[in-house]
Structure 1
Amino acid sequence: MTTPGSSTARPYSEELWEAITPIHKAILDHPFITGLVDGTLPRAAFRHFIVQDSHYLRDYARALALCAAKAPGEEDVRAFASDAVGAIAAEQEMHAAFMADLGGSAGEAAALPVGPATRAYTSYLLATVYGGSFLDGLAAVLPCYWIYARVGAELLAESSPDPLYRRWIAAYGDESFQSVVRRVVSLADRTGAEATGAQRAHALGHFVTTSRYEWMFWDAAWREETWPV
């Protein structure tokens, strides 16, 4: 059994990614993602995504701030605090620009209801980061970094005939974003190496759950999900 501080046979990140390989493939095969690449994604679905993502990022920024509060080292505290600020900046700048291109505004997006998948995802995320260990919280927030980086890099190679979708792909395929993600994945390796086998397995469960929520988030946008009652 792994004990705290012991070395492991392989990096924790390999364990994590292996667990979500089928989810990652399902995301790449989802019609929302394939529609971004070939330009056939309906504007209404993309608009739904942007609106819900603006809601999501507000709570994601809170989750990152909580990770900063629990982080073991000063450098990690600063990094997560910076990422929290960056998440809010993305909501204010990038989403406002996309909404303008879609004929709306950031204020209009903020006034629209938080959807079921968004509410479920952010509620789970905040509950995990509040109530769990630092490793639990890190594992819960990691899919939003890592899956977007992987999807962005793979879509960047294919690009899109639609300039709006091409701009979204470029934002997540960009090296500046990729370097941030490498830093968080490296932190997961360091933190996982210091955890027990039971702690690693528990955190992995959160990682898989929020990865599933990532798929659900795109699927909700594709279906333009609303509350049933």
Structure 2
Amino acid sequence: MSEPTFPHANRQPFSEELWDAIGPIYQAILAHPFITGLVDGALPRDAFRHFVVQDSHYLRDYARALAICAAKAPAEGDVRAFAGDAVGAIAAEQQMHGAFMADLGGSAEQAATLPVGPTTRAYSSYLLATVYGGSFLDGLAAVLPCYWIYARVGEALLERSSPDPLYRRWIATYGDEAFQSVVRRVVALADRAGDEATDAQRSRAREHFITTSRYEWMFWNAAWQQESWPI
């Protein structure tokens, strides 16, 4: 018998299913020395600089991924929202990271000339392959951790802040209500899209969500290790 294609009223909201699936990953992120170093101010500047450079590279591909999500979005409002988020990702790369690089004794132009690291390349490649080749729900699940985990980390860290003004500014960016409201909108869309999906479609999308959540941990770990290509 083929799987029913109608919504299942007795299923939990898709966002709850997704977040439950990454509970241990999120706790590992909060406990990572890169994150705890932001809060206590002990994070080495070189590690933060590595993060800013790689995040600048990553956000260019993330903007492309969001643009593809916009093209596949089922509703006009969602098309506009994702297109706006794609523009916002580029703006963040140009403005926020440029300001951080200036504080770190460099520039956005200099960051653009530095190599894309192994984890950054792997993460962005997986992301782009998923949004290009998968369904709208697949792509949404793949891009969602970069929204949602940063919002939850920013929210958690905002309560503790940091003695370092540079790290305090980074925390405030993601703990800010403006960013939190954007994330709530995308999470609500995940619930709507997930409600219309079959169990098999939700399961496949959940695997993408788990994978890119793991890449989020790996991204911070790469910065902590100041990862470079081995050869």
TM interval, short-chain normalised: over 0.9
Cα deviation code 1:161-208 (max 9, x no counterpart): 000000000000000000000000000000000000000000000000
Task: Please state how far the C-alpha of 1:7 moved relative to its aligned partner.
Answer: 2.5
Q: 1:3 is matched with which residue?
A: 5
Q: 1:80 is matched with which residue?
A: 82
Q: 1:20 is matched with which residue?
A: 22
Distance 2:217 2:196 in 1: 30
Task: Please state how far the C-alpha of 1:137 moved relative to its aligned partner.
Answer: 0.1
**Aligned to 1:34, what secondary structure does the other structure show?**
helix
Q: 2:44 matched to 1:57?
A: no
Distance 1:217 1:174 in 2: 22
Instruction: Indicate conservation of the 8 Å contact 1:143/1:210, yes or no.
Output: yes
Task: Please state how far the C-alpha of 1:98 moved relative to its aligned partner.
Answer: 0.1
Distance 2:31 2:77 in 1: 37
* 1:183-222 matched pairs, under 5 angstroms: 183-222=185-224
Q: 2:173 matched to 1:171?
A: yes
Distance 2:200 2:94 in 1: 39
TM-score normalised by L of structure 1: 0.99
Cα deviation code 1:111-144 (max 9, x no counterpart): 0000000000000000000000000000000000
Task: Please state how far the C-alpha of 1:6 moved relative to its aligned partner.
Answer: 3.5
Cα deviation code 1:3-27 (max 9, x no counterpart): 3333243110000000000000000
TM-score normalised by L of structure 2: 0.98
Distance 2:43 2:71 in 1: 39
Equivalent pairs, count: 229
Q: CA RMSD in A?
A: 0.8
Instruction: Indicate conservation of the 8 Å contact 1:2/1:8, yes or no.
Output: no
Q: 2:125 matched to 1:132?
A: no
Distance 2:140 2:43 in 1: 32
Amino acid corresponding to residue 227 of structure 1 in structure 2: W
Instruction: Indicate conservation of the 8 Å contact 1:136/1:203, yes or no.
Output: yes
Percentage of pairs with the same residue? 79
Distance 1:94 1:71 in 2: 28
**Aligned to 1:84, what secondary structure does the other structure show?**
helix
Match of 2:104 among 95, 102, 105: 102
Cα deviation code 1:17-61 (max 9, x no counterpart): 000000000000000000000000000000000000000000000
Q: Which runs of 5+ in 1 are unaligned?
A: none
